[in-house]
Amino acid sequence: MHPVVNIAVRAARAAGNLILRYVDRVDTLEVTRKDRNDFVTEVDRRAEAEIVRILRRTYPDHAILAEESGADGRDDAPQWIIDPLDGTTNFVHGFPHFAVSLALRHRGRIEHAVVYDPLRNELFTASRGEGALLNERRIRVSGITRLADALLGTGFPFRAHRHLDAYLATFRALFPESSGVRRAGSAALDLAYVAAGRLDGFWEVGLSPWDVAAGALLVQEAGGIVSDFAGGDRYLRSGNVVAGTPKIHAEMLRRMRPHLTEALRG
């Protein structure tokens, strides 16, 4: 495992341990509503602070882009992209599906990634050019080639309500042609599941960089494809992402395109 990933794993596990201490005590936590259906808890903030503390100790000159504390550091420095608790709404409601997500971006490319599910003790890791791992065992995207055989993941545009009609049109285009669609509430884990072959494809509208960065590298290093809705590489900027096995990714894009607004095509 790359030394950078070792440090990221240490940070992710520390955050995961903190999250687990509060799983059965959510009612004791202060929960703040950032927006409609968008929550933040004391655990999000404490987990993020623990991650940043560990990363800063080893890499004091690296920049940080984190969900709760925002951006910090030089623009030309390697940048950690952090979601301390992806799936906060699930966590608040006791729904057991959430994860810690860390990625390191350098010179415009994601180079290393960690997604950690503390409940299942599943650790997904990747470094560019070195493949993707689950608990140190290599993973690959599934061998599914037909949309009719594919299990897809998605997320509802709970922040980007203006895109709801277009999103529902893509759902109508994909759902009846697939073997099923799941909406579990953590984009980081959904993408990790695509990398591990548990899902064959995934799409969502209006995500933030910390929702996507680590999971996208996992998919790519596991042999899959990740793009924006135009088939390009601007998904971290646009927040619109399609991922899957090579053939499923292509078929999803083909069926989605007629239903996309101009804003989502860009």
Please tell me the predicted confidence (pLDDT) of residue 216. 98
What does the domain layout of the chain look like in residue ranges? 3-139, 147-265
Flag whether 67 is marked binding: yes
Please tell me the predicted confidence (pLDDT) of residue 131. 97
CB atoms within 10 A of CB 35: 9
List, run by run, the mean pLDDT of 10-residue segments along the chain (266 residues): 94 96 76 56 89 96 87 83 94 93 96 98 98 98 98 85 85 96 97 98 95 98 97 94 98 92 68
Flag whether 104 is marked binding: no
Three-class SS of the chain: CCHHHHHHHHHHHHHHHHHHHCHHHHHHCCEEEEECCEEEEHHHHHHHHHHHHHHHHHCCCCEEEECCCEEECCCCCCEEEEEEEECHHHHHCCCCCCEEEEEEEECCEEEEEEEEECCCCEEEEEECCCCEEECCEEECCCCCCCHHHCEEEEECCCCCHHHHHHHHHHHHHHHHHCCEEECCCCHHHHHHHHHCCCCCEEEECCCCHHHHHHHHHHHHHCCCEEECCCCCCCHHHHCCEEEECHHHHHHHHHHHHHHCCHHHHC
What is the pairing mode between strands 132-134 and 63-66?
unpaired
Place of tokens 């049109």: 169
Which residue, 82, 60, 61, is CA-closest to 71? 82
| Same fold flag, 3-139 and 147-265 | no
Kindly state the tokens that stand for 183: 């909406």
Please tell me the predicted confidence (pLDDT) of residue 33. 62
Please tell me the predicted confidence (pLDDT) of residue 151. 98
Tell me how far apart the alpha carbons of residues 212 and 202 are, in angstroms, rounded to a whole number.
11
Flag whether 83 is marked binding: yes
Please tell me the predicted confidence (pLDDT) of residue 68. 76
Please tell me the predicted confidence (pLDDT) of residue 90. 93
Is 176 exposed, middle or buried, given 0-12, 13-18 or 19+ CB atoms closer than 10 A?
Answer: exposed
Flag whether 55 is marked binding: no
Please tell me the predicted confidence (pLDDT) of residue 168. 92
Q: Evaluate whether the domain defined by 3-139 bears CATH number 3.30.540.10.
A: yes
Please tell me the predicted confidence (pLDDT) of residue 71. 73
Please tell me the predicted confidence (pLDDT) of residue 87. 94
Strand partners of residue 203: 154, 242
The class level of CATH for 147-265 reads alpha beta
Flag whether 228 is marked binding: no
